[in-house]
Chains A and B, each alone.
Chain A
Amino acid sequence: MKFEKKHILFLIGAVLVVAGLAALPLALKDYGDGLLLGLFSYITLASAWALFSGPTKYISLATVAFYGTGAYTVAVLNETLPFAVVLVVALLIGLVISLLVGLATLRLAGVYFVIFSFGLAEMVRQLITWFETRVTGTLGRYVFVDLTTTHLYWMLLGLACLTLFIRWWIGESRLGLAIHAIGDDETVARHAGVNVTLVKLALFAISAAIITLVGAIQSPRYVYIEPSIVFSPTVSFLTLIMALLGGATRTWGPVFGAVPLFFLFEWLSTNLPDHFSIVLGLIFVGIVFIVPNGVLALIEGLFTRKRRGTRT
């Protein structure tokens, strides 16, 4: 890949933006800090979700299975190991689980995969609950680490940048071409020599590992952790519609979907908690009927039409 002027300009711009974002907590109060953390957690989740689901068109609801696993790993290990080591352990656990699950299920397609991925989170939650009550005898654990919200935010900011970079890099590489081919027509891709299963498995594992890390980094914010808290299906559904609203096939799509929806749902859960799921439902229906390819594609379409309109 050649480095052109626009790449360098983009890089400088990106560094400035990230530096600005990293300095943001200095200007904010505690509440703002927490909000920022939540926002970047969803930006990362939605981007990681789209990393796998955007090109392959598999609708995964397993997000919270990995997110919860990450959070729970921290809850179990935070007293015995330093935080950095715990994060590595969480990453490895996420990778191993996703490879096992991926090998078993990526042959499934369509609704079978949706149901399976939804059930996976529920199954992990029930198994951990059962294990904790029956074997260890402690349901619910405390997480005490020596890190402020700002530290956690910096980690998530870094992870968000990394996720976006991976998405961009995959888009530029041979792997990106293979992925596009799978999304367009799996049979054709297979005949063209793409190792479909391997590509899907790799994407699923990378995406799952990032999601596990988000859960692990968010874990200290909960302070008290219980399976029913960190395995809440809402996380999976919010991630899903954020990515879809922005457009899951575009690098920046999930970011543009996550920002407005995060603030909307944050506002809803404090002001109109009873109407949370009604609004969520309406957004689902709205996305399918109004912006099936995401807001970014819609805006782009409007611009090109306008340009064409002025030319003629």
Chain B
Amino acid sequence: MLSSTLIVGLVLGGTYALLALGLTIQYGVARIMNLAYGELVIAGAFFTMLMVTQAGLNPLVALILALPLGYGFSWLLYTVVLHPLARRSKSQGQLEVDSILVTFGLLFLMQGLYQVNFGGNFQGYQWLQNPVNILGTKIAGGRVIGLVFAVLIGALLYLAMIKTRWGVNMRAVASRPQFAALVGIDMRKEARMAFATGGALAAAGGAILSMYQTFTAVDGTFLTMKALVIVIMGGVGNLIGALLSGIIIGLVEAGVSVAIDPGLTLAATYAIFLVVLLWRPRGLFST
């Protein structure tokens, strides 16, 4: 009972962590709160489903394809919609309000488009349903592979952020936005790249999600909210914080749904969120 809850929680937390990584990069570097983030995740899930059911591809191939598509779409979104706002706004507060409202608009727009094209039913496809035995707990094979890929992509991104020039620039913008320009970093380019990278992670997260669970056209909102809670728990822009918090939230959800009631998972997430905000508003792992 306990070990199965732990494993379910870890698998859930792995995907959440990947989603939160993308959002924390977008918010930490580009300083845009993208409330339509979950809709991009769902876009990745729909794309994978179509590739599997219509084109007969393997979901893993679709995952590889989803990465550049998510990158390109978010790049375009930043350039066309969000950058003009960033240029127009005089203060950070104004930009925050504007970007919240615009991304709310995008959220509804994308959700509406999904509903018109796919309807409101549960979507999904069958893939590797046969169970794998891990420490006495039976888990669908697709779930395990999904987790492996989530960890792989997360680890690659982390290495890139720590080891490469690309990552150093981005971390500079995230931690000292007022000084990054002084050392010759093109802030605008970094912001656009960070936003696009976040989008690629969202699409990949959606592709992985679709490998092991069904989804609906309106699931994006709750994915955004969960990712956001995780980002704030971990501290905005903190990659390791986001990873750990994602796993914590996954474990808590699994625990609450087993011990109390599956209907209360979201309430539990928000209770944690509230405690974090009041107790350590800069994140659990801030120093």
Residues in chain A within 8 A of chain B (CB atoms): 57, 59, 104-105, 108, 110-112, 114-116, 118-120, 122-123, 126-127, 129-130, 133-134, 237, 244, 274-289, 292
Residues in chain B within 8 A of chain A (CB atoms): 33, 81, 84-85, 93, 96-98, 100-102, 104-113, 115-116, 225, 228-229, 232, 261, 263-264, 266-267, 270-271, 273-274, 277-278, 281
Q: A130-B261, A281-B106 are in contact. List 12 more A-B contacts (CB 8 A).
A: A111-B228, A114-B100, A116-B273, A122-B270, A275-B112, A276-B112, A277-B108, A278-B109, A281-B110, A284-B102, A284-B104, A288-B101
Q: Measured between C-beta atoms, what is the minimum distance from A307 to chain B in Å?
A: 27
The 8 closest A-B pairs by CB, nearest first: A284-B105, A281-B109, A278-B112, A281-B108, A277-B112, A285-B105, A119-B270, A277-B108
Q: Measured between C-beta atoms, what is the minimum distance from B278 to chain A in Å?
A: 6
Q: A277 and B109: CB pair below 8 A?
A: yes
Q: Measured between C-beta atoms, what is the minimum distance from B156 to chain A in Å?
A: 28
Query: Once the chains are docked, how many angstroms separate the CA of A176 from the CA of B261?
Result: 46
Q: Measured between C-beta atoms, what is the minimum distance from B28 to chain A in Å?
A: 13
Q: A278 and B108: CB pair below 8 A?
A: yes
List 6 A–B pairs whose Cβ atoms lie within 8 Å, in order of A's numbering.
Answer: A112-B277, A118-B225, A123-B267, A277-B111, A280-B105, A284-B108
Q: B93 and A57: CB pair below 8 A?
A: yes
Q: Measured between C-beta atoms, what is the minimum distance from A134 to chain B in Å?
A: 7
Tell me if A's interface is mostly helix, strand, loop or mixed: helix
Query: Once the chains are docked, how many angstroms separate the CA of A288 from the CA of B81?
Result: 11
Contacts of B264 in A (CB 8 A): 126-127, 130
Q: A281 and B107: CB pair below 8 A?
A: yes
**Known contacts A116-B273, A116-B274, A277-B109; A59 and B97 CB within 8 A of each other:** yes
Contacts of B113 in A (CB 8 A): 278
Query: Once the chains are docked, how many angstroms separate the CA of A78 from the CA of B201?
Result: 51
Query: Once the chains are docked, how many angstroms separate the CA of A105 from the CA of B277?
Result: 9
Contacts of B112 in A (CB 8 A): 274-281
Contacts of A282 in B (CB 8 A): 105, 109
Q: Measured between C-beta atoms, what is the minimum distance from B66 to chain A in Å?
A: 23
Query: Once the chains are docked, how many angstroms separate the CA of A130 from the CA of B262?
Result: 10
Q: B105 and A283: CB pair below 8 A?
A: yes
| Residue on A nearest B269 in the bound complex, by CB | A119
Query: Once the chains are docked, how many angstroms separate the CA of A147 from the CA of B166?
Result: 67
B102 CB contact (under 8 Å) in A114, A280, A288: A288
| Residue on A nearest B273 in the bound complex, by CB | A119
Contacts of B225 in A (CB 8 A): 115, 118-119
Contacts of B97 in A (CB 8 A): 57, 59, 110
Q: B33 and A111: CB pair below 8 A?
A: yes
B266 CB contact (under 8 Å) in A122, A237, A277, A279: A122
Q: B274 and A115: CB pair below 8 A?
A: no
**Known contacts A115-B228, A278-B116, A285-B106; A127 and B267 CB within 8 A of each other:** yes
**Known contacts A277-B108, A283-B105, A288-B85; A111 and B96 CB within 8 A of each other:** yes
Contacts of A275 in B (CB 8 A): 112, 116
